[in-house]
Amino acid sequence: MEKSLRSIFLVILIAISAQATVTNSLERNQIWRVNAATDDQLQDLKDLQNTKTVEMWRYPQKVNEPILIHVPSEHIKFSENYLSDANITYKVTVENLDDVINQQKFRSKRAITNLDEFDYTVYHRLEEIQEWMNLMTDRFPFVSQQQIGLSYEGRPLNMLKIQKPSSGAPKPIIWIDALIHSGEWVTSASLMFIWKEILTKPQYSWIIDSLDWYIMPVLNVDGYVYSWTFNRFWRKTRSITGTSFCQGVDGNRNWDSHWSEASSPNTCSSTYHAAFAGSESEIRHLMRFITEQKEGIKAFITLHSYSQLILYPYCYARNTYTPDHDEQHQLAVNMSKAMYEVHQTVYTPAQGAKGLNYLWSGCTIDWIYDKANITLTYTIELRDKGTYGFMLPPEQIVPTGEELLAGIEVLATHVLNKH
């Protein structure tokens, strides 16, 4: 097919599918790994994304950078023909998405009444994560639970505070959150694993003796529930955006730092920034909490997947660095080295926009640095680099957590030496 004819066909297809979204029924849907070898093929992939017949997990940015795409069953034949006409190579990495998702959701249905029974090798629903938090506060007298607000749909936004009594000066605080993007399940799973390790193994006692911690296993609670019940790859919140068919806002584009400069105004986009900064209940409550506690918080980590990156500000511009860039970068390098030593998994340290190779304004770490004045602020993108993407197999939860723990140890040491 000539490129001009394909372009005309795409215009027609875009018009037909403009109001469509990728189906929530995942039976016989597939995941493909595609690669553009030329600039023309890169443009072809961008055109394909605009048809909304497939869902690309990473926006096509440069040649020879493989990306994963979610191909609904009804669009498989079209996608095959389109990629063939464009001479774009692809590989089917998941033949039947529904089967794989059901396997990842499978686990014992019995109630968990003891922390020792909790299974860290599977993914857990929101109510099970909440039960884990309850059991943590029951087991450890220095662990408490705090609600910082309510989500859009009225669910509590709960965090754990790990604070051993101290007679001296207030200890430095480190914050870690997960699941601002609700389809990134490994973030919460690995966060729970590392805290099981820290709280139960003597070699990590210094981490809680010398520092206080705030951890939030699920920030986007509404979206996380939706990812279990309707759409495994749901990313955004679940707020009403003013349209009848598209809901939600990208929480990592909703912070009041260069808001809307490099994010989408389209309500149906997965990176929609909302009508105004801090519009989302989840983000608004967290901004308020951090503002109130910012004098004590010395480091801030927000967990994402996937890409295996350790990112620091800024996200909104490629060649704009903070005055603390040298320290931020060197600590990221040191964390990366420690994480590599565990399973030889490479986590690349980088400035936010350069690491992901695109601009993303209104992001968490830019606000944390600029508005909360917390120097050591990082987005850690966990496993993997695109083999499974958001569908990371449960057997990789513990290895991912072990790598994360190694990085957190380096961060904790740096904070103690500095403060």
In the predicted model, what is the mean pLDDT of residues 23-33? Answer: 74
How far, in whole angstroms, is CA 369 from its chain's centroid? 19
Architecture label for domain 3-103: 2-Layer Sandwich (3.30)
Confidence band (pLDDT; 50, 70, 90) for 8?
very low
Handedness of CA 199, 201, 202, 204 (dihedral sign): negative
Q: Which class for 27: exposed (0-12), middle (13-18), buried (19 or more C-beta within 10 A)?
A: exposed
Q: Over the stretch 169-225, which tens digit does the pLDDT of each residue have? A: 899 999 999 999 999 999 999 999 999 999 999 999 999 999 999 999 999 999 999
Q: Over the stretch 107-162, which tens digit does the pLDDT of each residue have? A: 655 567 889 989 999 999 999 999 999 999 999 999 999 999 999 999 999 999 99
Domain range 115-418, its CATH number among 3.40.630.10, 1.10.3720.10, 3.20.20.140, 3.40.50.10800: 3.40.630.10
- State yes or no: pLDDT of 18 exceeds 80: no
pLDDT for residue 242? 77
Composition of the chain by helix, strand, coil, percent to 5: 40, 15, 40
* CATH 3.40.630.10 residue window(s) in the chain: 115-418
Q: Is 381 a catalytic residue?
A: yes
| CA dist., res. 285 & res. 295, Å (int) | 17
pLDDT for residue 167? 81
In the predicted model, what is the mean pLDDT of residues 407-417? Answer: 98
pLDDT for residue 111? 66
pLDDT for residue 50? 83
Selecting among 55, 280, 282, 381, the annotated active-site residue is: 381
Q: Kindly report which listed range (84-88, 164-168, 224-228, 249-253) carries the lowest average pLDDT score.
A: 164-168
Q: Over the stretch 263-304, which tens digit does the pLDDT of each residue have? A: 999 998 999 999 999 999 999 999 999 999 999 999 999 999
Q: Kindly report which listed range (27-31, 221-225, 401-405) carries the lowest average pLDDT score.
A: 27-31
List of residues 6+ apart from 108 with CB closer than 8 A? 119
* CATH 3.30.70.340 residue window(s) in the chain: 3-103
- State yes or no: pLDDT of 15 exceeds 60: no
* Residue with the larger pLDDT of the pair 285 and 99: 285
Q: Kindly report which listed range (62-76, 98-112, 242-256, 318-332) carries the lowest average pLDDT score.
A: 98-112
pLDDT for residue 14? 43
User: Do residues 159 and 132 touch, judged by C-beta distance below 8 A?
Assistant: no
User: Across all residues in the chain, what is the average pLDDT?
Assistant: 91
